[in-house]
Amino acid sequence: MAMDDHDRDDTPHTGLSLTLSYDGRSDLSIGSRPHSSSGLELQRSSSTAKALEPSLTLALPGDVCASVEVEMGRDIGSRHSPPPPPTQSHQPCKIKREDDVRSEEVEKVSSRISDEEEDSGARKKLRLTKEQSSLLEDKFKEHSSLNPKQKQALAKQLNLRPRQVEVWFQNRRARTKLKKTEVELEFLRRCCETLTEEKRRLQKELQDLEKSHKLSATRHMQIPAMCPSCKKVIGGAETGSPLPASRPRFFNPFAHHAA
DNA sequence: AATGTCAAATTGCCCC
DNA sequence: GGGGCAATTTGACATT
């Protein structure tokens, strides 16, 4: 009953490859692989005991391995106009697509819809059989979209209406895209984490460098400058120099010899 | 029974 | 005009 989907995807990121597989009845989550330091595993947390073991392996360039969970979000933002009032949609009086009309006979032959259901007028939701799903999956692996000829042939093979095949492919593409987006989101989230950590590290390093630089400058102030040629101590507290203590005293050969 | 999830199906828009 | 897509609705099924 549950549909088994298997995706193979290459993300646009360099050095990033992933294998996706999921059970159609479960939730999608992205998390770190517990036994890998460089991999990211995306899993659909199974909601059924019978669900297949899904997995996604994602090789990341970095060594980040934080555990993150992402909910299967549906609100990706509305590109079109606001949703129509609920009363308007899904009325029985629908304009049939050409496909539907053409393959009305095929539908009748299909053993999955009884005459009673047809007569009732209510939309009876079709659930594809395992065989139908797996064949559709196979075809999807070959081509993510179909030309009319392929559609017709596949519909005939599956004993479905071409429109149903078309819809299945549409929804399948949508699911693939959604998953890809989620994986990319997770990748970017991890990149962000890595960069934030790197920034923090560099800031600390800079702070330490500034501290040690200040310290060494202070030490220099306390060591009296000495002329390398005449070995005379120039300035410094012990010479009774009039220089203010706060000013750093460095040996200036020009100033000394010119005097 | 209520609720949640998933996938089939619909709608409306855009682009070629 | 037809196909693809995004957004949405809806029904089937699972879980609590």
For residue A168, give the nucleotide whose C1' atom is nearest its CA: B8
pLDDT band with cut points at 50, 70 and 90 for residue A131: confident
A159 CA to B14 C1' in angstroms comes to: 32
Contact A191, A20 (CB under 8 A): no
pLDDT tens, A74-87?
333 333 333 333 33
Per the structure, the residue whose CA is closest to nucleotide C15 at C1' is A47
Distance A166 CA to B16 C1' (A): 19
Determine if strand C comes within 7 Å of the CB of A123.
yes
Flag whether pLDDT at A183 surpasses 60: yes
CB A26 within 8 A of CB A41: no
What per-residue confidence (pLDDT) applies to A134?
87
Nucleotide nearest A125, CA–C1', reads: C11
A51, closest nucleotide (Cα–C1'): C14
Half-sphere exposure of A230 (CA within 13 A, CB side): 8
pLDDT over 90 for what percent of chain A?
12
**Cβ of A174 < 7 Å from strand C?**
yes
Closest alpha carbon to C1' of C4, residue = A170
Q: What is the DSSP letter of A124?
A: P
- Residue A198: predicted pLDDT: 97
pLDDT tens per residue across span A24-68: 333 333 333 322 223 233 333 333 322 222 333 333 333 333 333
Q: Which nucleotide is nearest to A49 (CA to C1')?
A: C14
* pLDDT score for A194: 96
Q: What is the mean pLDDT of chain A?
A: 57
DSSP letter, residue A229: T
E strand or H helix at A59: strand A55-59
The pLDDT assigned to A230 comes to 63
CA A95 from chain centre, in angstroms, equals 39
Q: In this structure, is the CB of residue A170 within 7 Å of any atom belonging to strand C?
A: yes
pLDDT at A231: 62
* pLDDT value for A192: 94
Percent of chain A with pLDDT over 70: 38
Distance CA A193, CA A96 (A): 51
What was the pLDDT predicted at A161? 86
How far apart (Å, rounded) are the C-alpha atoms in residues A146 and A169? 8
Q: Which amino acid is at A160?
A: L
Decide: CB of A121 under 7 A of nucleic strand C: no
pTM: 0.52
CA–C1' distance A37–C5 (Å)? 38
What's the rounded Cα separation, in Å, for the pair A19 and A176? 12
**Residue closest to B10 C1′ by Cα:** A90
